[in-house]
Amino acid sequence: MNMKWKLIIFTLIFFLLLTNIPQTAEASVSVSARNAILMEQESGRVLFEKSAHEKRRIASITKIMTAILAIESGKLEDMVTISERAEGTEGSSLFLKKNEKVKLEDLVYGLMLRSGNDAAVAIAEHVGGSLEGFVFLMNEKAREIGMANSHFANPHGLDDSDSHYSTAYDMAILTRYAMENDTYKKISGTEVHHAPNPTEKWDRVWRNKNRLLTGLYDYSTGGKTGYTKLAKRTLVSTAMKDNMNLIAVTLNGPDDWNDHIGMFEMAFKKYEMVKVIEAGIIAEIDEDFYKQKVYFEHDYRYPVTSEEKEKFQVDMKLQTPKQEWEEARNIPTVVGKATITFDNKMIKELPIYYEIDDSEQLSLFERFKNLFTAMIGVNNNG
């Protein structure tokens, strides 16, 4: 057999094998970014990742940390005096002027919508006492919420330090934390903000740079853009559809708008939120002491594909009732826990609560009497 026929046969075999390779239900999403992650907000489940734990420069998405610290400071109504250091900050700017007074809340809007580096320094000096003091707070918060591979050296993300970095995963963790705050969520999702201008007759008007939010993507709920020469384009964005809230992060993403839309659309098509735990009385509990008295305080939902719905297991453990519980006031609020596993991995533990009403307090002694009588066998042995 000559080489020509060998080549033809080899090619035919190759394509036959290729067409018989099992295909996944959904093609994996493709992103331009060097680092990327897609996380479901409620559960924290990672739905897509690409080099998500690699330490990288992050540019102005740094300001998510600056914003949440300012909000949590409780000082949003304070008037902030702009320093010379803040006025002279390079890069994107709100064009703040030395000695003018601006409400801290307005500075946070300018920080998030227009990415004002001068606002970042003004916020840092006011909330942290100094820029350096604020950076200390940034790193303390990072450790507190589990950003294990991050370090902050400034409040704005400029390329002025090699020790300023994070990861796509850590920035998703930060955004998940921040989105639990209603004030942050409102600011992050604002398209236009008007702020008084103390030196002019007209208000300052700041329009959000996040094109996903301002018209490019219908399900966008907020986020933060970023760019420096060394970090390149960085982007954090959030989206919501059918009660599924998503967080997307890309670092060094030349086509980041489409990267985020692609990740969001993949998740909205492929996953659905399944209610694993429902708030309210736990009907499955039929033990006399706990029946109709124990409950879950909140729903717990988790994103799954249609093929994954049978992979959950819920194990509930309740404390053995104690004799001192004869007095209702001695019964603890939390009497057990539910452990949720998914695909044989523990994903969540939820407390089980006990509820006592007035009639319960009146009949409690009798129920304990019956319970402990049964335990020592009096009912059976006389």
63 is catalytic: yes
Kindly indicate the confidence band of residue 363, based on its pLDDT and cuts at 50, 70 and 90.
Answer: low
Q: Which of 270, 290, 311 is the last residue in one of the domains?
A: 270
288 and 315 part of one domain: yes
Confidence band, pLDDT 50/70/90 cuts, at residue 372:
low
Residue 36 carries which side chain, given as an amino acid letter? A
The residue from 63, 209, 232, 293 that is catalytic is 63
Q: Structurally, how many domains does the chain consist of? A: 2
Give me the CATH number covering residue 286: 2.30.140.30
The last residue of one of the domains, among 244, 270, 296, is 270
User: Does residue 158 sit in the same domain as residue 296?
Assistant: no
Q: Do 238 and 307 reside in the same domain of the chain?
A: no
Q: Hey, what amino acid is at 376?
A: I
Choosing from 43, 83, 92, 115, which is the catalytic residue?
A: 115
pLDDT digits (tens, 9 = 90+) for 88-114: 999 999 999 999 999 999 999 999 999
My answer on whether 230 and 353 are in the same domain is no
The CA distance from 240 to 275, in Å, is 17
- Per the annotation, binding residues for substrate are 224
Q: Are residues 283 and 181 in the same domain?
A: no
**Same structural domain, 193 and 89:** yes
Tokens in use for 312? Answer: 């959950």
Q: Give the active site residue among 43, 50, 60, 188.
A: 60
Q: Which domain holds residue 82?
A: 35-270
Q: Are residues 239 and 287 in the same domain?
A: no
345-354 and 192-195 strand pairing: unpaired
**Percentage of residues of the chain with pLDDT beyond 70:** 86
Single pTM value for the model: 0.84
Predicted confidence band of residue 124 (pLDDT cuts 50, 70, 90) = very high
Chain segment 76-85, per-residue pLDDT in tens: 999 999 999 9
Q: Whole-angstrom Cα distance, residue 317 to residue 287?
A: 12
Of 241, 270, 299, which residue sits at a domain end? 270
Binding site: which residues? Answer: 224
Residues 336 and 231 in one domain: no
Of 39, 57, 59, which Cα lies nearest the Cα of 47? 39
pLDDT of 288 reads 87
Q: Do 264 and 288 belong together in one domain?
A: no
Is residue 115 annotated as part of the catalytic site, yes or no?
Answer: yes
Of the pLDDT bands very low, low, confident and very high (cuts 50, 70, 90), residue 367 is low
Structure confidence by residue, pLDDT tens digits, 269-282: 999 999 999 999 99
Q: How far apart are CA 280 and CA 296, in angstroms?
A: 5
313 in the same domain as 235: no
Which CATH number is 150's domain given? 3.40.710.10
